[in-house]
Structures are given as C-alpha cells and as structure tokens.
A = this chain, B = another copy of it.
Amino acid sequence: MGQDIAGRGDPVKLLELLWGRDKAPRRGPKPKIALEQIVQAAVDIADAEGIEAVSTRRVADAVGISPMSFYTHVPSKAELHDLMLDHIAAPGKEAPPDWPQMDWRARMTLVAEAMWGFYLQHPWVLQFQTHRPVLGPNTLAAYEVALGSVEGIGLDDLEMDLAVTALMDIVVGTVRNAAREKTVRDATGMSDDEWWRRIEPFLETIDYAPYPISSRVGPVAGAEYGAGDPHRAFKFAFERFLDGMELMLERKAGRKA
C-alpha cells in the first residue's frame, strides 16, 4: 500500500465506478452482490469502528463473499476509499427550501454547520490525505450546494471558490478536535477526566518558567485540550472569517458605487 491514495490504477475506471458506468458484461455469471453493498458495508464498518477496521477481508465477509472476490468489484482498496467518500456525500445534496430567503451569512453558517455534523458522523474521513478530488455525483452535488451559499452576493467566480474553500477548510481544521473525543475514548477506554487525573501528578513536577504565557492563559498542561469546546473554537474562527468576508463585500460595493 502507498497509503490509501487511489490513482495508481486507472483513474478512469474509478470514475466509471463512481458514475455507475460499468459497461454491463454480457457473459459470465451474475455477480452475487452489487458494488453499492460493498461500499455501504465498508462505510458502516468505518463509522462504527474507524477506517482502520475496514479491511478487504472484513468487507468481503460482511457482504458474504470470499476475500478475493472483493477485487472483482473494486480494483483495490484505494478505489474503495474514494467510493466510500462519494457514497457518504449523498445527503446534503439538496439545499433547504428556504435557502433563497436567507442572507449569505445564514447560508454559509448553515453549510458550515451541516459540514461539521457530517464530519462528526464520519470522522474517519479526516484521516485521509485530501488528494485529487473525488469527482463523483454526490461530491459534485454537495459542492454545488456549498457554492450556492455565496451565489449572487457580489463575489466574482474565483472569489466564490475561495470563499467556499475557506469555509470548508475552517470546518475541517476545527472539527478534527471534536472528532478526537469519541475516537480517543473508544480507543483507550479512558475518559478525558480519567486521563487528566492520571497525568496530573507528573505535570506538577514540571518547571513552567519557560512557559509564562501558556501557564497563565490556561492550566498549562491542558491548554489546547482543556481550553476546550471545539465547537466554540469553530464558532470563534468562523465568526471572524464571516466578519472579514463582510468587510470585503463592503469594500467591493463601495469601490463599485
């Protein structure tokens, strides 16, 4: 493996799978199972136990085929990952009906919050290197909705893309800290409180003289961690970003007028 990056194989093959464009084979036995079942099973495993629990053998077993039969349906594990990504992008393909009446701030906030929820539901997505975009139907549709949040508010096309990219990047950057909690407790069987209690005696032996600001700003040890609520961090960052966007729009409007 070269770490989960599709594309070593034929990238067109992947697109065909994403868009259901498999030229229907005319000979040979009917497949026991459909591609979608494989992808769904893989997503279920990832949601429940993390991406590292998704092995080709395990997925094959879940849908009732032999380990190697997996490779009849999917070229390699890398392609499975891309198929999984497009698969879970299916919800959120449609903008809410009251979309047009909302102002851009509300729309961007809605998109960002939806995305936040999305990553919390599928935290394993964050473990992938973002790579060449998964050009599947669901992914494209979700991007279309996101773009719609900044349509017609005074940005040119490039700025629209930059704004939406910034939105996504801010969500991804902040939600990682939120996804952590559940994952870590599951993996270590230790709550944050318990972890904290365990290390506290050691932390008291550290000389904090070299860290004057840190030791003032938060209980040093738990600075990043204990300061806390990742969603609050997200809201802080996103509010500043939106304020900055507003300033930009005002400047642009002023220049034009």
Interfacial residues, chain A to chain B (CB-CB below 8 A): 1-3, 5, 7-8, 10-12, 15-16, 19, 50-52, 123, 126-127, 129-133, 135, 140-141, 143-144, 147-148, 151, 157-158, 160-163, 165-166, 168-174, 176-177, 179-180, 183-184, 186-190, 192, 195, 198-199, 201-203, 206, 210-214, 216-218, 220-225, 227, 232-234, 236-237, 239-245, 247-248
Contacts and interface: CB of A to CB of B under 8 A. Distances in A.
A134 B189 CA distance: 18
A188 B248 contact: no
How many copies the complex holds: the figure is: 2
Contacts of A220: 140
22 contacts: A5-B187, A7-B184, A7-B187, A7-B190, A8-B189, A11-B195, A11-B198, A129-B179, A130-B180, A133-B224, A147-B214, A151-B213, A157-B216, A163-B236, A165-B174, A166-B174, A168-B173, A169-B234, A170-B173, A173-B174, A240-B241, A244-B247
Nearest to A3: B52
Q: Per DSSP, are chain A's interface residues mostly helix, strand or loop, or mixed? A: helix
Contacts of A19: 206
A244 B105 CA distance: 14
Nearest to A206: B19
A15 B183 contact: no
A15 B202 contact: yes
Nearest to A148: B213
B165 A172 contact: no
